[in-house]
């Protein structure tokens, strides 16, 4: 398996410890610029006048996207009465079309949510997951920009995302892999796709344990592994393999099942209860 290149950095914070959003339209570089413009146009055409905002998140608006490795991650905020499932179906079709046209982009994934998902409840002023995500790593490229009114975010339990659902994600993945027939069309491709998805979640869920302890944040897989390995040296080798599989996914179903049933299950047990302060 290919060796990893050491790269990454911790997210910067301001004087009060809040995470700084480093996204900017001037950071979107070629060849991603054209893809972003076409994505934006297709989303607006499909959703007619029901779109409130279009956001980019992740490495593309930070100017850190890597051809053939990075995804284009978008978020569409819709009017409250628009059916989300219909929108998600349209956005998935747009993603498939763009992936075929712009093959330097590993995947185009666009989430759809109602604008009510960004509202802060007076009884619970802490930011929700979507609010935290857009505040720290979202760039509004069309429509209303909610970021100026969203509360600032520190690297703490408010940003825990992957650890909360890791056990369910693991069960779902194991079931999917076990039930996948070797004679099925694109068998190898489906195993690799699911490998990449679940192993990224393993790495990021593991880092969230460190984030809550130390008050640091990163989106970089290698750096996530490094900080995790320092805190949990007994799992250093397994987490390194998880990063390898996230970047260079395998088509070996049997080997992947063994890895997930072992280290994956152990990590899922360790992250359970992270929001309750038990880890």
Are 167 and 54 within one domain? no
Q: Is the dihedral of CA 31, 34, 38, 39 positive or negative?
A: positive
Instruction: Note the pLDDT of residue 5.
Output: 76
Instruction: Note the pLDDT of residue 80.
Output: 87
Are 89 and 45 within one domain? yes
Question: What b/e readout covers 254-274, taking b as 16+ CB neighbours within 10 angstroms?
Answer: eebbebbeebbeebbebbeeb
CA 274/CA 267 separation, integer angstroms: 12
Render 185-231 in DSSP notation, one character per residue: TTHHHHHHHHHHHHHHHHHHHHHHHHHHHH------HHHHHHHHHHH
The SS3 call for residue 268 is: helix
Residue 267 lies in a domain: yes
Are 269 and 178 within one domain? yes
Is 171 or 161 the better-scoring residue by pLDDT? 171
Torsion of CA 163, 167, 171, 176, to 10 degrees: 0
Final residue of a domain: which of 149, 168, 196?
A: 149
Residue 7 lies in a domain: no
How many domains does one find in the chain?
2
Are 191 and 80 within one domain? no
Instruction: Note the pLDDT of residue 29.
Output: 94
DSSP assignment letter at 34:
H
Is 156 or 2 the better-scoring residue by pLDDT? 156
Residue 45 lies in a domain: yes
CA angle at 32 for the pair 27 and 38, rounded to the nearest 5° = 115
Final residue of a domain: which of 85, 117, 149?
A: 149
CA 55/CA 198 separation, integer angstroms: 24
Element (H, E) at 138: strand 138-143
Final residue of a domain: which of 149, 177, 210?
A: 149
Are 170 and 94 within one domain? no
Are 69 and 162 within one domain? no
Are 122 and 102 within one domain? yes
Task: Examine residue 141 and say whether the peptide bond preceding it is cis (omega within 30 degrees of 0).
Answer: no
Residue 196 lies in a domain: yes
Q: How confident is the model at residue 37 (pLDDT cuts 50, 70, 90)?
A: very high
Residue 254 lies in a domain: yes
Report, as an integer, the average pLDDT of 102-122.
85
What CATH number is given to the structural domain containing 65?
3.30.460.10
Q: How confident is the model at residue 125 (pLDDT cuts 50, 70, 90)?
A: very low
The full length of the chain comes to 279
Nearest alpha carbon to residue 142 among 260, 17, 273, 49? 49
Pairing of strands 108-114, 72-78: parallel
Domain with 55, as residue range(s), is 25-149
Residue 5 lies in a domain: no
Task: Examine residue 31 and say whether the peptide bond preceding it is cis (omega within 30 degrees of 0).
Answer: yes
Instruction: Note the pLDDT of residue 8.
Output: 81
Are 130 and 243 within one domain? no
Are 178 and 257 within one domain? yes
121: pLDDT strictly greater than 60: no
Residue 1 lies in a domain: no
Instruction: Note the pLDDT of residue 144.
Output: 95
């Amino acid at each position: 398996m290919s060796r990893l290149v050491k790269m990454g950095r911790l997210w910067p914070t301001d004087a009060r410890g809040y995470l700084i959003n480093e996204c900017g339209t001037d950071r979107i570089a070629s060849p991603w610029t054209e893809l972003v413009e076409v994505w934006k146009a297709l989303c607006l055409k499909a959703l007619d006048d029901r779109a409130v905002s279009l956001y980019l998140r992740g490495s593309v608006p930070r100017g850190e996207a890597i051809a053939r490795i990075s995804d284009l991650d978008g978020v569409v905020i819709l009017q409250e009465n628009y059916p989300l499932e219909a929108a998600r179906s349209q956005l998935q079709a747009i993603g498939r079309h763009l992936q075929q046209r712009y093959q330097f982009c590993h995947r185009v994934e666009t989430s759809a949510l109602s604008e009510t998902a960004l509202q802060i409840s007076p009884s619970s002023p802490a930011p929700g997951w979507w609010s935290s995500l857009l505040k720290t790593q979202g760039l509004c490229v069309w429509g209303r920009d909610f970021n100026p009114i969203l509360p600032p975010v520190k690297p703490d339990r408010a940003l825990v995302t992957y650890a909360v659902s890791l056990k369910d994600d693991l069960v779902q993945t194991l079931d999917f892999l076990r039930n996948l027939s070797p004679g099925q069309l694109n068998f190898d491709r489906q195993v690799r796709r699911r490998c990449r998805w679940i192993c990224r979640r393993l790495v990021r869920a593991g880092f969230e344990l460190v984030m809550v302890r130390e008050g640091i944040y990163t989106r970089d897989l290698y750096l996530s592994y490094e900080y995790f390995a320092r805190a949990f040296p007994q799992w250093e080798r397994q987490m390194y393999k998880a990063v390898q599989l996230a970047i260079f996914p395998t088509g070996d179903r049997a080997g992947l099942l063994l890895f997930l049933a072992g280290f994956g299950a152990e990590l899922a047990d360790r992250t359970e209860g992270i929001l309750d302060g038990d880890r």
